[in-house]
C-alpha cells in the first residue's frame, strides 16, 4: 500500500524531495497538473513526487484522487512504462473516481524525469530566481512548459506578541520567514520555525541589509514606532512586492510625513500600506497576524505561469 502523503505546496519544496530521491538513488514519478476545467484544489502546473517507496510529496486534490495517483505512479515504475497523461472527472475512464468540485483535471506522470532539468529548476528557485520546467507530453508536440516563482518571503521587523504571531502565521502560510527584532527573547521564541533567519536590531538607526526582492514582503510590527523609519526608508528602495506597517491611520499619516521629511520620494512612500490587515481594529495578536498575512497574500496570488510550447 502507498505510504502516507506528505502535504507540501510550493514547487521548490516538491523539487527538493526529487533532489533527495536522486541523491538516494531512488526512482520516482514527477506529477504535474497540465490542464484544469472547472473547479480544482490546486492551480495548473502544480507538482507532486511519488517515490518508488510509495511516499507522495505534494497533492493534486483534497483527498478524492491522490491515492489513485500514487497507485498509478507506482505502476509506471513497476512496469517501466513511459510518461502518460491521466484524466480525472468529466471525460475520465475512472467512473468511480469523481471530482466533487466538478470539471476535469489532467495530470502528466513522468517516470524518472531528466535529472539535469530538475536540478537546474531547483537551483534557480533556491537562488530566488524564476525556474522554467519543460516536460514532454505524449501525443502533444508542444509539451508542457511552466514557469515557477521562488517561494514568497516574509520579512518582519518588530517585537512582542503581534510580531511572534505574524511570524508563525506566515510560516504556516508557506512564506520563507526573516525576522528582525531588538528583543532577543522574541527572536528566540521563534527558533522552532523551519528555515527562519533572524537578525537582532541594535539601534533604530542601524539598519541591516534587507534581502528583499520582487517575491518578498516587508512588515513593521512595532508599537514603539521609532524603530520603523530607517527600516522603511531602506525597504522602499528595494523591489519588495509589498510593504506594510502596524498602527492606526493617524500613526500612518505621521509615519508618511516623517519619511517625507527624511527626503524619501513621495511615490516610494506611497508604496507603504497602513494600517496593515484586511480586518480593521483587531485586538488579538493571532488575529492581527492572520489579517496581515492575508492582505500580503493578495499580492502573491499567482506563483505558476503557463508558457508557450517547448
Per residue in 115-147, pLDDT (tens digit) is 999 999 999 999 999 999 999 998 887 888 999
Per residue in 239-294, pLDDT (tens digit) is 999 999 999 999 999 999 999 999 999 999 999 999 999 998 898 999 999 999 99
Q: What are phi and psi of 302, to 5 degrees?
A: -130, 120
Q: Tell me, what's the pLDDT at 89?
A: 75
Give, in words, the CATH class of 153-298.
alpha beta
Q: Tell me, what's the pLDDT at 145?
A: 92
0.85 surpassed by pTM: yes
Give yes or no for a contact between 107 and 34, defined as CB atoms under 8 angstroms apart.
yes
In angstroms, what CA-CA distances link 32 with 59, 136, 150, 183?
Answer: 10, 11, 17, 44
In the block, cell 512504462 appears at 81
* Largest CA-CA distance found in the chain, in angstroms, rounded: 70
Q: Tell me, what's the pLDDT at 210?
A: 94
**Domain ranges within the chain, ordered by starting residue:** 5-148, 153-298
List residues bridging with 28 in a β-sheet.
51
Which parts of the chain register pLDDT below 70?
1-2, 39-40, 63, 90-102, 308-310
Count the neighbouring beta carbons within 10 Å of the beta carbon of residue 24: 10
CA neighbor of 177 nearest in space, from 196, 204, 202: 196
Amino acid at each position: 500500500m502507498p505510504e502516507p502523503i506528505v502535504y507540501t505546496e510550493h514547487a521548490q519544496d516538491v523539487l527538493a524531495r526529487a533532489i533527495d530521491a536522486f541523491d538516494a538513488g531512488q526512482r520516482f514519478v514527477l506529477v504535474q497538473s497540465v490542464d484544469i476545467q472547472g473547479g480544482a484544489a490546486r492551480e495548473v502546473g502544480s507538482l507532486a513526487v511519488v517515490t518508488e517507496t510509495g511516499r507522495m510529496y505534494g497533492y493534486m486534490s483534497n483527498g478524492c484522487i491522490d491515492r489513485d495517483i500514487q497507485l498509478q505512479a507506482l505502476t509506471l515504475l513497476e512496469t517501466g512504462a513511459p510518461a502518460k497523461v491521466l484524466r480525472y472527472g468529466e471525460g475520465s475512464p475512472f467512473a468511480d473516481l469523481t471530482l466533487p468540485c466538478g470539471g476535469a483535471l489532467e495530470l502528466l506522470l513522468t517516470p524518472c524525469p531528466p535529472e539535469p532539468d530538475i536540478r537546474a529548476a531547483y537551483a534557480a528557485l533556491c537562488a530566488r530566481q524564476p525556474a522554467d520546467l519543460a516536460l514532454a507530453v505524449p501525443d502533444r508536440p508542444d509539451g508542457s512548459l511552466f514557469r515557477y516563482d521562488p517561494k514568497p518571503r516574509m520579512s518582519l521587523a518588530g517585537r512582542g506578541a503581534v510580531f511572534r504571531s505574524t511570524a508563525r502565521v506566515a510560516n504556516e502560510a508557506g512564506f520563507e520567514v526573516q525576522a528582525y527584532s531588538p528583543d532577543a527573547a522574541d527572536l528566540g521564541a521563534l527558533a522552532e520555525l523551519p528555515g527562519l533567519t533572524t537578525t537582532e536590531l541594535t539601534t533604530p538607526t542601524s539598519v541591516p541589509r534587507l534581502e528583499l526582492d520582487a517575491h518578498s514582503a516587508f512588515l513593521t510590527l512595532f508599537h514603539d514606532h521609532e524603530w520603523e523609519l530607517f527600516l522603511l526608508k531602506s525597504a522602499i528602495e528595494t523591489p519588495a512586492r509589498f510593504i506594510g506597517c502596524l498602527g492606526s491611520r493617524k500613526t500612518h499619516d505621521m509615519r508618511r510625513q516623517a519619511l517625507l521629511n527624511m527626503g524619501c520620494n513621495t511615490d516610494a512612500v506611497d508604496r507603504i500600506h497602513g494600517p496593515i490587515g484586511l480586518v480593521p481594529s483587531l485586538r488579538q495578536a493571532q488575529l492581527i497576524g492572520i489579517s496581515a498575512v492575508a492582505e500580503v497574500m493578495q499580492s502573491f496570488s499567482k506563483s505558476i505561469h503557463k508558457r508557450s510550447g517547448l
